[in-house]
A and B are shown apart, each in its own frame.
Chain A
Amino acid sequence: MAPALVALDDVALDDPAVDTQQLATRGSGFWRRLMGLSVRPILLAAVLGMLYLWVQAQTLDSIERRVLNPHRIRIDLWDHVQLSLIATALTIVIAVPVGILLTRPFARWIKPIGLGLGNFGQAIPSIGLIVLLALWLGIGFWTAVIGLVVYATLPILRNTIVGLDGVDPALKEAARGMGMSRLAVLGRVELPLAVPVILAGVRTALVLTVATATLATFIDAGGLGGGLVAGIKLNRPALSLTFGVLAAVLALFADWVGGIAEEVLRPRGL
């Protein structure tokens, strides 16, 4: 048996007290965060309930009834969710690989350019961006998706770069030193360690997309913006209020889902 190599008093060095304490605090932190996360859906449900009661209490005219009915709301909501999810997924597929490329040694010199483009995308007023795209590509769902992707690229791109750059160089060198190829270092060390930061970027992008997707209605791409704008145009505040609250609740819900994803996908041991 090997233990002969080690003095018995090594056990004292192990200091189990410290370890269990560490484990305990991490555990409770995890549950505290989950608790925090569980408050959100309850609040959102309460808001929706209040909205429902309030709408029920109103006497709606024919115009309002045409927009404010379950069927129409379901369609708008579904369009909105679809737009946001597809746009966010596309943004991830584009921004993460670009972020990876920009952090490779050979591409460091273009990093400022890449980040600049991302900044540019976000700096254009979103409504202007979407309208401009529509003039160029025509109106419709995919034009709205493209606009949203341009708009949401920056947070994911930036966080991918920050996350990868933030990986301890000593770890990367240890990985190289033990004979991992560059690709293996990326896949097994850099990306897993950057996951929390990248996910934070994805969460930001998702919320941004859900909020911005209200503008899709201007180029006939559907979504909750329709009812909101109709309320303004037809001077029916009840419509604007209802759809505005729905859009806000959806954005907050998306943020909550993002928070859950961060908790679940964060590599253990960090």
Chain B
Amino acid sequence: MPDTALDSRISSEPTTSDSATSLAPAAVPAGTGGATIQLLDVTKSYPGQVAPAVDHITLEIAAGEIVVLVGPSGCGKTTTMKMINRLIEPTSGQILIGGTDVLKLDADEHRRNVGYVIQQTGLFPHMRIAENIGLVPRMLGWSKRRTADRVEELLEVVGLPPGEYARRYPRELSGGQQQRVGVARALAADPPVMLMDEPFGATDPITRDRLQNEFLRLQREMGKTIVFVTHDFDEALKMGDRIAVLGPQSVIAQFDTPEAILAAPANDYVSSFIGSGGQLKRLGLMPLRDADLRPVPARKDLSQITIDASLHDALDLMLESGQDKVLVAADESGEGEVFGSIRLDDLMAAIADDSADDPSDDPTAKLDPSAGS
């Protein structure tokens, strides 16, 4: 199963590592890290509409963080995001990137320094892939040579060998490949901030999963500050360091880590968004790597699971094998080192513990949520 191989390679990266270069050093795109984004009391009223589309939102996003805006259709996610690159001008409020008030910048210049990925990919059909990706660098005055090198590098990074793809036209690529080019294009000039509006929305579940994994993998090396819009809560759980659950008019219902939102939804609206299986989703966010394992039992007939999997996967395997414990090992084959075992009770305890704890003490929380609103 090559897919699992990919996933395990991705998840074998410690989440907190900031030197995740061991696997593919050459692939690390030149790193301008991220910059903070602050929306301060930002409102957007479209002319001729009574209620504002975005009503006084305040949102502070730390450098290098992925914040997912999630909410039902029409709640103002896209509007909120587009105000950051000023495709939509706010009616009132302040937007700061790295402390600079972007509303005072030249809009075109500003946009060249903000990566932008949209669901429809927005690739220009009359330009070859290389030309599409090189647009922003060229606008920023890079030389042809430097741009070409960068384009090649990025095509490698998103898994499209330049020799084969650089000279193609977008229509000669599959949907998933086009999405990758869309991501590469947004990364081209190495912007500190990326805006992604349902970037993987138009792909089938398998491709989407793969694109998500690849992107998370990339992000671990790049540390961009990313605003990611989706209306799929599961995608939000997977992609977000923190999630802002938005209600109508972009009012923030809850802004916290995925773990904290699942453990303690702020209100019924958020619960309804989580939907059923919230506890299972929490297990899915808890890696076995972080669990307290028991010693290896004497029994030899137990199923074995890789330490890169989650508690949810462990539960699944217990149900599948009909046993209330599984072995946790370096891999599933039975040959790798066995680290210990985990029991059904432990899963129960993990869920109970976690709910009792202050979410910010949660070992799986990737960021301190107290920085939020």
Contact = CB atoms under 8 A, between A and B. Distances in A.
B109 interface: yes
Interface in B56-97: 85, 87
B6 A193 contact: no
Contacts of B122: 170-171, 173-175, 177
Interface string B196-221: 00000000000100100010011000
Contacts of A6: 6, 158-159, 214
Given A3-B156, A177-B118, A22 B172 contact: yes
Q: Chain B contact residues: over half helix, strand or loop, or mixed?
A: helix
Given A10-B159, A173-B122, A22 B171 contact: yes
A179 B27 contact: no
Interface in A13-40: 13-15, 18-19, 22-23
Interface stretch (A50-58, A92-100, A121-129, A262-270): A262-270
**Interface size class for chain B?**
35 or more
Given A13-B176, A179-B112, A268-B169, A4 B23 contact: yes
A107 interface: no
Nearest to B164: A14
Contacts of B218: 5
Contacts of B168: 19
A9 interface: yes
A1 B118 contact: no
A64 B34 CA distance: 86
Contact of B177 (A3, A14, A193): A14
A177 B172 contact: no
A192 B87 contact: no
Contacts of A22: 171-172
A177 B194 CA distance: 11
Contacts of A139: none
Given A6-B159, A6-B214, A181 B128 contact: no
A2 B153 CA distance: 8
B172 A19 contact: yes
A180 interface: yes
B16 interface: no
B126 A170 contact: no
A72 B112 CA distance: 63
Q: Chain A contact residues: over half helix, strand or loop, or mixed?
A: helix
A176 interface: yes
Given A2-B156, A178-B185, A180-B139, A170 B118 contact: yes
B127 to A, nearest CB: 7
A26 B122 CA distance: 22
A192 B186 CA distance: 22
Interface string B100-117: 000000001111110010
Interface residues of A, number: 38
B24 A5 contact: yes
Interface string B109-142: 1111100101010111111100000011001000
B28 to A, nearest CB: 9
Contacts of A3: 24, 27, 156, 159, 161
Interface string B211-250: 0001001100000000000000000000000000000000
B214 A5 contact: yes
Contacts of A270: 125-126, 171
B109 A269 contact: no
Contact of B27 (A4, A168, A175): A4
Contacts of A14: 174, 177
A42 interface: no
A14 B164 CA distance: 11
A268 B24 CA distance: 36
A251 to B, nearest CB: 31
Given A2-B24, A5-B214, A193-B126, A15 B159 contact: no
A177 B111 CA distance: 6
B174 A269 contact: no
B46 to A, nearest CB: 15
A269 B173 CA distance: 11
B124 to A, nearest CB: 6
A7 B5 contact: yes
B193 to A, nearest CB: 13
Contacts of A1: 24, 26-27, 156
Question: Which of A176, A179, A188 counts the most chain B CB atoms within 10 A?
Answer: A179
Interface string A180-210: 1100100011001100000000000000000
Question: Which of A18, A178, A188, A192 counts the most chain B CB atoms within 10 A?
Answer: A178
A260 to B, nearest CB: 20
Contact of A178 (B112, B126, B157): B112
Given A7-B2, A22-B172, A179-B139, 12 more contacts: A1-B27, A3-B24, A5-B217, A9-B3, A13-B207, A18-B174, A168-B120, A170-B120, A173-B118, A175-B122, A179-B109, A269-B125
11 contacts: A1-B156, A2-B26, A6-B159, A7-B3, A19-B168, A177-B85, A178-B111, A179-B108, A179-B136, A267-B126, A270-B125
